[in-house]
Amino acid sequence: MLEAEGILTIHPRSGIQFVRPGLELTRSTYQFRAIVERSAVRVFAEEAGEDLMNSLEVRHSRLLRKLEKDGLTPDHLAEMDLLELDLHGQIIAALRNPLIDTAYRRMHNYLRLLRLERKVTPPMLIRTLKEHLEILEACSSRNADAAEKALQAHFQAAINRNLGLA
């Protein structure tokens, strides 16, 4: 399945080769994310429950404080991965569309591949958490325009991080 998706190539009797992510894969992955999530974040901002948004904000803020205090630990990295999946997953879930859910999960494989190439640092995670908090603040105020704008800024910054430009 991963070979059909273009994520890896299986060489008989010699092994498996993962695709090296480059500019085109990065651009395509984030273009897809932007198309889908920009619509989804508008719905999320308008319809998501207060408890869900508050929970996401609290978890992001706690991890931000831990990173600023302790630096990067394996636990912090694992928690960041969960937060990333949860926030963006909840945004996509707001559309209540199983076809989009399936396509988004498949796209997430490409995102994981992109992330294999980058070095994770505390400042990078802190910036990402702050970008997430900006999205959540806009959603909490039920401002769909601001939420979409914050999401787009987050994706542009993420592209730059993945390409080593930030």
The sign of the CA dihedral 107, 108, 113, 117 is: positive
Q: What is the chain's pLDDT, residue by residue, as a tens digit (166 residues)?
A: 666 666 667 888 888 776 666 777 788 889 999 999 999 999 999 999 999 999 999 999 999 999 999 999 999 999 999 999 999 999 999 999 999 999 998 888 778 877 776 788 899 999 999 999 999 999 999 999 999 999 999 999 998 888 777 6
* Per-residue model confidence (pLDDT) at position 114: 76
pLDDT at 3: 66
Q: What are 15's strand-pairing partners? A: 11
Site of tokens 């994520």: 7
Residue 41's nearest CA partner among 103, 100, 92 is 92
**Which domains occur in the chain, in start order?**
23-162 (1.20.120.530)
Q: According to DSSP H, which parts of the chain are helical?
A: 23-47, 50-70, 74-93, 98-116, 122-140, 144-162
User: What is the SS3 assignment for 119?
Assistant: coil
pTM recorded for the entire structure = 0.87
